[in-house]
Amino acid sequence: MYRTVVNRILLSGGSRRLPRYPDIRTIISSSRFSTTAQPQTVLNPSGSSTSSSSSTSFRTSSAAGDVPRHERNNPRAEYEGEQARVLQASLRHVIRLGWSEEAMIAGAKEVGISPSIVGSFPRKEAALVEFFMDDCLQRLIDRIDSGEELQNLTPSQCIYKLVRIRLEMQAPYISKWPQALSIQAHPLNVSTSFKQRAMLIDEIWHAAGDETSDLDWYVKRTVLGGIYSTTEIYMLTDSSPEFRDTWLFLDNRVKDAFDLKKMIQEAKYLAEAVGAGMGSSLQGFVGRVLQR
Amino acid sequence: MALRLLTRNLRNRISPNLCSASLLHSHATSFGFKEVREEEKSQMVGKVFSNVASNYDLMNDFMSAGLHRLWKDRLVSKLSPFPGMKHLDVAGGTGDVAFRILESINSIRRRALQDPINDDLQEETRIYVCDINQNMLNVGKNRALERGLGEDKSLVWVQGDAEALSFEDNSMDGYTIAFGIRNVTHIEKVLTEAYRVLKRGGRFLSLELSHVEIPVFKELYDLYSFSVIPRLGEVVAGDRESYQYLVESIRRFPPQEKFASMIADAGFQKVEYENLVGGVVAIHSGLKI
């Protein structure tokens, strides 16, 4: 995934901030082509400036919910900022009202904006779920960046720890999480949720120190994707205190995955041995038949 | 159905020939393809609607083959009404959009999802139907009675001018204008008024007959508009003139992109439009922040 590499180049020095709510795809494509770290603005003679989408997203990302500095110059950033505020407030109502329009209406009222704004989100409840996923990813990135905790761990321990941190962020919403999963599985929303999960997995592997670039890259992402999804679903029905059973499950899955490599080797040897054994006895049999 | 997002610098891309001032001036003095004085336009439009009021809905069904119902449904679903909403439907004479909004808010499905607190909110819902023409409003009131909404205090019928609304600043959650903005004298004044009365977070939605660009379909649509519709008006409503005005005024109205830039100029953000039936109808939306 390009995002992590590009982000490290372009935003080096500052804290990494995942661009919030605005469409992440435009961020990726525009950041790939811009060569400077400064946002570009185009000022036209009348004084009110218009900006390319990359600078809009950079600005919203640096503001992160504060009032953008160049408000007049950047009208597009304003409504996106407000939408983000509404979504943030809506999250507090999700536990009571579920991932639904009602929660978003309650959130809008809390922030003091007319609930009509809910109609301007393209896929309403999906927007809320996607916002939450982005938010969690951002918090995970922050934990990783600040993380001395990850220094001396083996890859498998690192992965266990990161997946656990990420899933714990979902713990408060666990009663309504099945609804969120069904929203994410809806055909209209699948592509976005898939992208978000892919970014998450990529981030975790990257933090665990993964440097591969060949076919292994896909294998690793797929395996971790599987571990993450199965643990997430396990968590839905786990009623042990503080999800202890889930973490046990996770631990076992991670161990299995890392043993998978050894297992594949052993399976290969076994196949070779069987093949050799079968081959020699088959040869002998065929030879005897032909001799007749 | 294509959805396009507009940025503020669109105005700079439009060729100098179509500079906004001259196009708008021409809208204010055009009555279909005829040129009239600005002061007269309002009166002439008024006459048209007084004439068509009684057959308005019937003619709509004929001309659009019943599709106008779907278009209005789409408009209301884009609006996403909620209980306790204060909504203003301008040029909403016969009440089509207002009834749909009310029904959407009161629908059983919605009620099932609400918690008890919201039931009080349902009481506070207000849909204001504003129209400059009293005849259209009367037709609307009668239709409300027929639908059993006569006693419903959520519906308020107000006579007023879209260019000078009698409502307070920042008082409306939603503003719709369905098939009305084509008939006003000064489009920008209407847009400015819309911006004024909307609250923060409020949305502006306009449903209007618009321009078709698809090659073959465009010719067919023009043929239908200029040959069939005035004839239909003559036969069904006994009024050829008014329907001639109708089809001419559609051609005179600014195209989708231009109108979207006008909405953005009024101060709205996130201005988008959606073409229905290849551009025969377009729903423009804007957000006030």
Which candidate from B78, B114, B287 shows the least CB-CB separation from A79? B287
Assign A132 a pLDDT band (cuts: 50, 70, 90): very high
Q: Please tell me the distance in Å from A106's CA to the nearest CA on chain B.
A: 11
Per-residue pLDDT at B108: 60
Q: Report the residue of chain A nearest B8, measured CA to CA.
A: A50
Which residues in A lie closer than 8 A to residue B173 (C-beta atoms)?
114-116
Q: Over 80: is that where the pLDDT of B273 sits?
A: yes
Instruction: For residues A219 and A54, give the distance between their C-alpha atoms in angstroms, rounded to a whole number.
Output: 32
Residue B94 is labelled as binding a ligand = yes
Rg (CA), chain B: 19
Most confident of A13-22, A207-216, A228-237: A228-237
Q: Are A129 and A183 in contact (CB under 8 A)?
A: yes
**CB pairs < 8 Å spanning A and B:** 68
* Chain B contacts in chain A segment 20-49 (CB below 8 A): 42, 44, 48
Average pLDDT taken over every residue of chain A:
75
Q: Is A113 on the interface with B (CB under 8 A)?
A: yes
Average pLDDT, chain B: 84
Chain B nearest CA to A91, separation (Å): 18
Q: From the CA of B78, how many Å to the nearest CA of chain A?
A: 6
d(CA B87, CA A13): 49
Of A34-48, B42-56, B168-182, the least confident: A34-48
Best residue in B113, B120, B289 for a mutation probing chain A (most A CBs within 10 Å): B289
**For residue B232, what are the contacts with CB-CB under 8 A and spacing of at least 6?**
B59, B62, B63, B243
pLDDT of residue A26: 38
Q: How far apart are the first and last CA of chain A?
A: 63
pLDDT at position B52: 75
Give the amino acid at B214. I
For chain B, the straight-line distance linking the first and the last C-alpha, in angstroms and rounded, comes to 26
Q: By C-alpha distance, which of B234, B172, B180 is closest to B203?
A: B172
More confident residue, B224 or A277: B224
Contacts of B289 in chain A (CB under 8 A): 78-79, 82
**Structure tokens of A153?**
């761990």
Contact A131, A173 (CB under 8 A): no
B36 confidence band (pLDDT: 50, 70, 90): confident
Q: What confidence tier does B120 reach under pLDDT thresholds 50, 70, 90? A: low
Whether A124 sits inside 8 A of B80 (CB atoms) is: yes
Distance CA B38, CA B89 (A): 25
Q: Are B149 and B121 in contact (CB under 8 A)?
A: no
Report, as an integer, the average pLDDT of B137-159.
88
Interface test with A, best of B110, B200, B268, B273 (most A CBs within 10 A): B200
B136 CA: distance to closest CA in chain A (Å) = 28
B89 is in an annotated binding site: no
What's the pLDDT tens digit per position in A202-212?
A: 998 888 877 77
Q: Is the pLDDT of residue A263 over 80?
A: no
How many residues are present in chain B? 289
Q: Do A112 and B7 touch (CB under 8 A)?
A: no
Where would I find the H helices in chain A?
2-10, 24-33, 53-63, 75-97, 101-111, 125-146, 155-170, 177-185, 187-207, 216-236, 244-291
Beta-carbon separation of B289 and A78 below 8 A: yes
User: How far is residue A132's CA from residue A140's CA, in Å, rounded to a whole number?
Assistant: 12
For A76, the closest of B113, B173, B269 (CB atoms) is B269
Identify the pLDDT of residue B24. Answer: 58
Six-digit token string for B2: 């294509």
Contacts (Cβ under 8 Å, ≥6 apart) of A136: A166, A169, A170
What is the tens place of the pLDDT at every residue in B74-115?
999 999 998 889 999 999 888 899 999 998 888 765 665 555
Q: Residue A12's pLDDT is what?
A: 44
Average pLDDT of B228-235? 86
User: For chain B, which residues lie within 8 Å of any Cβ of chain A, measuring from their own Cβ?
Assistant: 7-9, 12, 78-80, 82, 85, 113-115, 173-174, 198-203, 269-270, 285, 287, 289
Over residues A47-62, the pLDDT tens digits come to 333 333 333 333 333 3
Alpha-carbon distance B132 to nearest alpha carbon in chain A (angstroms): 26
A276 dihedral zone (left: phi>0; alpha: psi -120 to 50; beta): alpha
pLDDT at A243 over 80: yes
The answer to whether the annotation marks B162 as part of a ligand binding site is: yes
